[in-house]
Every structure is written in structure tokens, then in C-alpha cells.
């Protein structure tokens, strides 16, 4: 079997995470591993690590329906259900070993999301109910990537271009600049020239996107310089986006809770799915 995607079922936004992961697996052909974390000593915990469909139906009918529906959509050989007991964040981190992608729900709260983002061994996609703007957004329908000129940002850029190419979506590269007076958007067809834009921001966007634009010539690229705070601008850029991608250069860092956590804040506040890609993350070996 080829590559795998793991998805956490249950908890806040767990069903939305399953829907996103199923669509991703359907498009990429990846195997999908459904992970359900139950309370220690619960009936499912006592049943088996890999329970029979009858046991799942007996103890958790909604989980059984989700499992069978996903099997019907993707094919039985491409879907596996794993039952684990214990602390959800720890089990999700365990599930991130050996998979290409981990998908989790990012509902109200954030403690579990924080621990998973800090310790997962692969890129993590955090899914919340999407918010749509009644007036639309310049980046609606795009894969949006935050550009900061760091090594982590370049790793995230690679992820974003591959996702855009696989899903045949346009990509928007966003640079946040407090020096700019307003928002600025440009692509190969149109160019906004009536805003005062920081030249260094434009140069950085061009330098960071050009190598991947050449490797993925079918991906339309839009560039944007947004004015304001980094977190606020990235959350705003996610309005209507298909996926917002950010790099994480401090995954596993002990002091990040004290110094601020842009990936966590974006993952729990953005109005679209958010992919958090750790520095120098390489595709994991298949299960």
C-alpha cells in the first residue's frame, strides 16, 4: 500500500476533520487511517485494538457509520480503523509516526491542538467549520501560503505548491508587512500599482515563489502583501481559502508558549483548514 493519512475522529470538529481527510485521500489515492481515542476501561477499549464492525456498531453506532461510509467511498482495503485509549493528544502524536499527513479537528479550546502541533512527526492539518465572507475575498479558492523567508517557510512553500498542483488550485503567496500602508495583490495578469508597497516584501515574494512556480507551471500564482500584524493578516487571508499553509520552525521547542505561537493561533482561529508544516519535514515512510 502507498502513502497514508491519519485522521483523529471524535472531539471538537472531528467529523469535519474526517470529511476533509476523506476528500484528500480520494484525490491522492492515499490510504486513510481512522483513529478513535476512547476513555480507558470503556467498552471499545475492552473490545480490541482493531475491533470487528459488529463491536463498533454495538458500542459506538456513529463511529461505525462513519467507518462503513468511508470504506464505501474509498474502498475497504484503503481504510483502517484504530482504537486507542488514553490522552487524545498523546495518541494523535503517536499516530503521526510513519504517515504523510495527520488531520485533526481544531474546535474551541486548543490544548490538544497545541500539544499535537508541538510534537507531531509530520505535517498537521487542523480543520474547523469554514467561515465564508458574504462579500467574497481576493484569495477565495486559493491555497494560501505565508511567506517569511525562513527555511521553515520554504518547506511550507513546497507543501503548498504540491497541494495546489494535486488539487488543481491557484496558489496565493502572502507576505505580511507593517511598513505597507494597505493590501496589495498581483499576478501574471493583473497588477495593483496604486498602493504604497514595501519593495523588500515584493522582492521576497518573487524570490520565494519563483523556483516552485517553475517546477509547477500549471499552478497559477498570486502574490499579496498584507498590512498589519502577522496573525491577524494570515487569519484574514484564510477567509474563503481552500487551505492555509504555515511553516513551523519551532516544533518541539520548550519555550514557544512564552514567546507566542503563530501556527497554533492561526490553526485555531483561521476560517479555513490550516496545514502546519514543520521545518525540514520530509515525507514519511508508508505504514
User: What's the structural domain count of the chain?
Assistant: 2
Same domain? For 81 and 186 the reply is no
Chosen domain end from 127, 154, 175 = 127
Chosen domain end from 127, 157, 177 = 127
Residue 135 lies in a domain: no
Residue 286 lies in a domain: no
Residue 204 lies in a domain: yes
Residue 138 lies in a domain: no
Same domain? For 12 and 101 the reply is yes
Q: What is the pLDDT of residues 185-243, one digit of tens each?
A: 887 666 554 456 667 888 899 999 999 999 999 999 999 999 899 999 999 999 999 99
Cα 67 to Cα 50, 64, 83, 86: the distances in Å are 12, 5, 12, 21
What pLDDT score does 111 carry?
A: 86
The CA distance from 77 to 238, in Å, is 35
What pLDDT score does 187 carry?
A: 78
Residue 191 lies in a domain: yes
Q: What is the pLDDT of residues 46-63, one digit of tens each?
A: 766 677 778 888 888 999
Same domain? For 149 and 117 the reply is no
Q: The domain that contains 92 carries what CATH number?
A: 3.40.50.620
Residue 287 lies in a domain: no
> CA torsion 143→21→31→42, rounded to 10°?
150
Q: Which residues contact residue 60 at a Cβ distance below 8 angstroms, ignoring those fewer than 6 apart?
A: 36, 44
How many other CB atoms are found less than 10 A from the CB of residue 244? 30
Low-confidence ranges of the chain (pLDDT < 70): 1-2, 47-49, 108-109, 132-136, 188-198, 250-260, 280-287
Same domain? For 25 and 69 the reply is yes
Chosen domain end from 127, 160, 179 = 127
102: left (phi over 0), alpha (psi -120 to 50) or beta: beta
Residue 133 lies in a domain: no
Residue 132 lies in a domain: no
> What is the domain range of residue 212?
143-278
Angle at which helices 199-215 and 151-167 cross, to 10°: 50
Amino acid at each position: 500500500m502507498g502513502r497514508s493519512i491519519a485522521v483523529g475522529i471524535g472531539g471538537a470538529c472531528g467529523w469535519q476533520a474526517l470529511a476533509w481527510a476523506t476528500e484528500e485521500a480520494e484525490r491522492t489515492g492515499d490510504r486513510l487511517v481512522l483513529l478513535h481515542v476512547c476513555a480507558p476501561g470503556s467498552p471499545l477499549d475492552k473490545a480490541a485494538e482493531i475491533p470487528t464492525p459488529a463491536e463498533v456498531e454495538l458500542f459506538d453506532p456513529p463511529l461505525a457509520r462513519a467507518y462503513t461510509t468511508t470504506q464505501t467511498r474509498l474502498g475497504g482495503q484503503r481504510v483502517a480503523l484504530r482504537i486507542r485509549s488514553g490522552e487524545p493528544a498523546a495518541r494523535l502524536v503517536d499516530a503521526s509516526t510513519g504517515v504523510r499527513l495527520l488531520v485533526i479537528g481544531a474546535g474551541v479550546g486548543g490544548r490538544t491542538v497545541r500539544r499535537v502541533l508541538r510534537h507531531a512527526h509530520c505535517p498537521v492539518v487542523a480543520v474547523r467549520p469554514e467561515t465564508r465572507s458574504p462579500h467574497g475575498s481576493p484569495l477565495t479558492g486559493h491555497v494560501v501560503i505565508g511567506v517569511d523567508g525562513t527555511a521553515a517557510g520554504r518547506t511550507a512553500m513546497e507543501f503548498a505548491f504540491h497541494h495546489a498542483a494535486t488539487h488543481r488550485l491557484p496558489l496565493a503567496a502572502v507576505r505580511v508587512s507593517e511598513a505597507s500602508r494597505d493590501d496589495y495583490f498581483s499576478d501574471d495578469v493583473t497588477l495593483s500599482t496604486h498602493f504604497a508597497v514595501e519593495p523588500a516584501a515584493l522582492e521576497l515574494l518573487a524570490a520565494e515563489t519563483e523556483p516552485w512556480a517553475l517546477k509547477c507551471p500549471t499552478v497559477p500564482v498570486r502574490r499579496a502583501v498584507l498590512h498589519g500584524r502577522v496573525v491577524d493578516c494570515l487569519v484574514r487571508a484564510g477567509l474563503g481559502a481552500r487551505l492555509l499553509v504555515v511553516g513551523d520552525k519551532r516544533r518541539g521547542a520548550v519555550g514557544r508558549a512564552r514567546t507566542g505561537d503563530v501556527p497554533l493561533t492561526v490553526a485555531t482561529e483561521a476560517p479555513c483548514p490550516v496545514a502546519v508544516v514543520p521545518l525540514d519535514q520530509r515525507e514519511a515512510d508508508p505504514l
